[in-house]
Amino acid sequence: MEKYDELLKFTSKYGQQHLLKYWPELDEEGRDRLYSSIKSIDFDKSFKAYSGDSREASSEFSLSDVSPIEVIEKPDESAELGKKYYEKGIEVIKKGGVIAVTMAGGQGSRLGHEGPKGTFDMGLPTHKSLFELQVDQLSSIHENTGAYVHLYIMTSEINHNQTVEFFEANGYFGYPKDKISFFCQNMIPVFDRNGNMMLSAKDKVVTAADGNGGIFSALESGGVFSSEDGKKAAFIYISQIDNCLAELCDPIFIGCAALTGKSCLTKTLMKAGPDEKAGVYCVKNGRPCVVEYTEVPKDMAELKDSNGEFVFGDVNAGIYVFKKSVLEHASNRGLPYHKYVKKTERLDENGKPFKPEVPDCIKLEMFLFDIFEYIDDVTAFRIKREDEFAPIKNATGVDSPATARNLYYRKFRIPMGKIAELDGDEMTRVVWQKIKDIVLEPYIRLNTEYYDLSITNRDATDDKVTVEAANAIKRLKVGVKCATITPNAQRLEEYKLKKLWRSPNATLREILDGTVFRAPVIADGIKPLVSGWKKPIVIARHAYGDVYAAKETAVKKGSKVCISVTDPDGTVTNIPVHDFERSSGIVSGMHNEDDSIRSFARSCMSFSLSCGLDLWFSSKDTVSKTYDHRFKDIFEEVFENEYRKSFEDKGITYFYTLIDDAVARVVRSEGGFVWACKNYDGDVFSDMLAACFGSLSMMTSVLVSPDGCFEYEAAHGTIPKHYKKYLAGEPTSTNPIATLFAWTGALRKRGELDGNVFLIDFADRTERATLKLVGEGRMTGDLVRLSSCENKVTLDLDGFLGEIAKHIYD
Ligand code: NAP
Ligand code: MG
């Protein structure tokens, strides 16, 4: 009974003996728990805090009581001053002059995440947690300076153990274990309306973390100041775990603090509008402070200077650097507690768990910025919002993982390996630039070798540019091409060309020895004419020989026609074709080459593998027992010798059938395969498929060489009709989808070849965002005619691309 007596004596002193009500019911362990729960509380301090021995922070004031806080604009790293700060910051870091503190006491429950907020995966393709992203930053500081900044993580009673276990389980993300420490924020009891402490269980007093201002006493009680690195440091950097863009120990920030000698720099951002719900910095009654937005008088909120900027517009970003000496001194003085009425779960008078409907308890919290009461030279260090501020607070909407991802990628922009970029003509050239400006550049550090295949440049370079571009695709393995004009007599005149240049696509195909695959883009609401088709049917056309390279002639009645073959050794064989004894007529001599057919087979098989689709091939081998049969045999041979194993590994099949059977099967299928066709079949059926899938503007095309080079483009042309309107200043509702998907195809392929998961993720997300938009009924004019969506909205080109860009990282 020793413990009971001790507790009774102690609690009675404060009138809190009801906390022992369940002692008789508790077993030995329960009693121990209650004992330590009670003994961990500083009763003196708690009651002082409760009974209002704390200054009330909020009080009425007017514009005449406040003046703006001193501001330093963060200089650019390339500017003179920025360089000076940066170098100083690096010097401080190298000497161990700064430690980093992360406030991570919160849980991820508002994000629908169980566990500490720092363990939250914000949806990057690497699935890194917020903690890992922070450690990564310090790792790159180490790469830069050779010094390990010590990271101190402030946890809370609820997540301390889980946090430490998370770091243990993940090997401290490659950072030295002795350079990451954890300290726990202090707890304070929650009081009922009558000023009494409560029980959350029969063996536990209700307590809660003591607010972000508790960090200072926790730095002391958690041993940070007295730790080896803490003792060495002259500066303490503090930021929050939920800001995924916070630049830990930003050298410019640290260097500025060191060179200006300010006791505290606090990062601020300009508020977005007069009504933004965020506290602003000012000097009130001679003291620097943050005023809650609810307390800011209207005239103060709206006041602007001669440059049109808010005079009181500096919003708190929650990122600070303090001189340690100042902090040690100030934190000893203690901060005031602010009272809140809150809902708190607890035991009712019958010892049953009780969840109040309305706020009915008093919670006490300290505010971090109340420390400014003790510090004279607090200076705002104004940053650009988009550079360093992306908090994750809500599951959806503002400050959510989606908004944070968007800001994250806009800041870092995905680096990539090089691809060949082939620009083109007319309306598609306009679309091309807009896609780059609006959708790609904001998120990707585009890395292309640029070739201008516009008709004027092809003419100026005697079409050498096309050959160079083809060789670039061979070298880089990946290219993306804009539609180009294939000149005809009218174009010759229109552009005053030197001659009728070849079709660039024919040149590319020839140099790459490639096969063209055409694939429709399928979106909700745009139903294929064949209702059973659910997935794309990719069609491959062997674009060499057969009827397209045939020699033909008219034949008089009474003529005899034969094929005459001269072997290398001079032997001549004549094969009779037809005796025209009944009538005059026509003949055609067709050919194909085994090597070309073999390349075609290889291209089809590597393409099927690369997109994981079954491959069908069809010809008329029953009738054409030598000609078409050779196609069948070569496909068979290439498959058996080179691809069977990889197809099996990937779980896809190769399947040969007669062309008539193939047509019937294609129509009855649900899609989702590659259909390899001979030249003529491919010509006819690719147009049929394009028409059945909806629109030319939704058809993409890939040229694949047998050695694995990929060139992506839209199947449509340069859309001259739209270009005329565009030049006349009229809005056009040109559909950019096929051209955009040519880009995403090329980026995805580049990503796959380089193992760049960010680039692959970008391509996937961009396509998804595009299809989602169309599925929701927001589309360009050409699709509005085809879509079965209700509430369709027609967007112009810029509007459509802008919407896509906005939602890529949703
Ligand atoms: P086109 O440029 O594909 O345009 C034909 C019509 O299809 C357009 O007038 C338009 O119909 C519709 N259309 C095509 N793409 C569209 C899109 N993205 N958004 C909205 N509507 C779209 O074919 P063309 O007029 O026969 O050829 C024009 C030039 O392109 C020629 O010089 C040709 O040589 C060249 N071409 C190049 C390639 C290539 O580089 N791969 C391929 C084909 C043609 P509405 O007018 O009804 O809106
Ligand atoms: Mg055709």
| Per-10-residue mean pLDDT, the chain, length 810 | 88 93 93 93 90 59 87 95 97 97 93 95 94 96 96 95 97 97 94 93 93 91 94 96 95 97 95 84 89 86 89 93 88 82 90 92 90 90 94 92 94 97 97 98 98 97 97 98 94 93 89 88 85 90 85 94 95 95 95 93 92 94 94 96 95 94 92 93 86 84 89 94 93 92 97 97 97 94 86 92 95
Name the residue of 719, 722, 741, 795 to mutate for ligand 1: max ligand atoms within 8 A of Cβ.
Answer: 719
603 alpha carbon – ligand 2 mean position (Å): 20
| pLDDT for res 333 | 74
611 alpha carbon – ligand 1 mean position (Å): 27
Q: Using CA atoms, how far apart are residues 519 and 527, in angstroms rounded to an integer?
A: 15
266 alpha carbon – ligand 2 mean position (Å): 66
Query: What residue type is 347 in one-letter code?
Result: L
Contact assessment for residue 111 and residue 103, using Cβ atoms and an 8 Å cutoff: no
Residue among 595, 636, 609 at smallest CA distance from 708: 609
Q: Whose CA is nearest to atom 39 of ligand 1?
A: 483
| Least distant ligand from the CA of 784 | 1
686 alpha carbon – ligand 2 mean position (Å): 7
| pLDDT for res 59 | 63
Atom index in ligand 1 nearest the CA of residue 735 equals 19
489 alpha carbon – ligand 1 mean position (Å): 18
Q: What are the DSSP calls for 324-387, one per residue?
A: HHHHHHHHHT----EEEEE---EE-TTS-EE--SS--EEEEE--GGGGGGG-S-EEEEE--HHH
* Axis-axis angle for helices 504-512, 464-476 (nearest 10): 40
| Least distant ligand from the CA of 482 | 1
Atom index in ligand 1 nearest the CA of residue 485 equals 32
| pLDDT for res 2 | 83
710 alpha carbon – ligand 2 mean position (Å): 22
Atom index in ligand 1 nearest the CA of residue 713 equals 41
Alpha-helical segments (H) within 440-581: 455-460, 464-476, 489-494, 504-512
How wide is the angle at C-alpha 70 spanned by C-alphas 66 and 71, nearest 5°?
125
Which residues are CB-contacts of 8 (< 8 A; sequence separation ≥ 6)? 17, 20
Alpha-helical segments (H) within 124-195: 130-145, 160-169
Atom index in ligand 1 nearest the CA of residue 428 equals 18
Residue among 686, 697, 667, 673 at smallest CA distance from 521: 697
| Least distant ligand from the CA of 785 | 1
CB atoms within 10 A of CB 229: 18
Atom index in ligand 1 nearest the CA of residue 738 equals 18
687 alpha carbon – ligand 2 mean position (Å): 5
List the beta bridge partners of residue 379: 265
Q: Using CA atoms, how far apart are residues 761 and 763, in angstroms rounded to an integer?
A: 5
Strand-strand pairing, 280-284 and 287-291: antiparallel
Q: Whose CA is nearest to atom 8 of ligand 1?
A: 719
533 alpha carbon – ligand 1 mean position (Å): 25
544 alpha carbon – ligand 2 mean position (Å): 14
List the beta bridge partners of residue 553: 587
807 alpha carbon – ligand 1 mean position (Å): 28
Residues with CB under 6 A from ligand 1: 483-486, 505, 696-697, 713, 716-721, 734-735, 782
Four-CA torsion 294, 297, 302, 306, nearest 10 degrees: -130
Q: Whose CA is nearest to atom 27 of ligand 1?
A: 717
Q: Whose CA is nearest to atom 5 of ligand 1?
A: 719
Q: Whose CA is nearest to atom 6 of ligand 1?
A: 719
| Least distant ligand from the CA of 424 | 1
| pLDDT for res 58 | 53
Q: Whose CA is nearest to atom 46 of ligand 1?
A: 721
516 alpha carbon – ligand 2 mean position (Å): 13
Residues at Cβ < 5 Å from ligand 2 ion:
683, 687
Which residues are CB-contacts of 386 (< 8 A; sequence separation ≥ 6)? 407, 410, 411
Q: Whose CA is nearest to atom 40 of ligand 1?
A: 483
Atom index in ligand 1 nearest the CA of residue 719 equals 2
Residue among 57, 54, 10 at smallest CA distance from 35: 10
286 alpha carbon – ligand 1 mean position (Å): 69
Atom index in ligand 1 nearest the CA of residue 503 equals 34
Which residue's structure tokens are 């009680």?
Answer: 221
425 alpha carbon – ligand 1 mean position (Å): 11
Name the residue of 687, 716, 739, 794 to mutate for ligand 1: max ligand atoms within 8 A of Cβ.
Answer: 716
Q: Using CA atoms, how far apart are residues 600 and 619, in angstroms rounded to an integer?
A: 14
Name the residue of 426, 494, 718, 739 to mutate for ligand 1: max ligand atoms within 8 A of Cβ.
Answer: 718
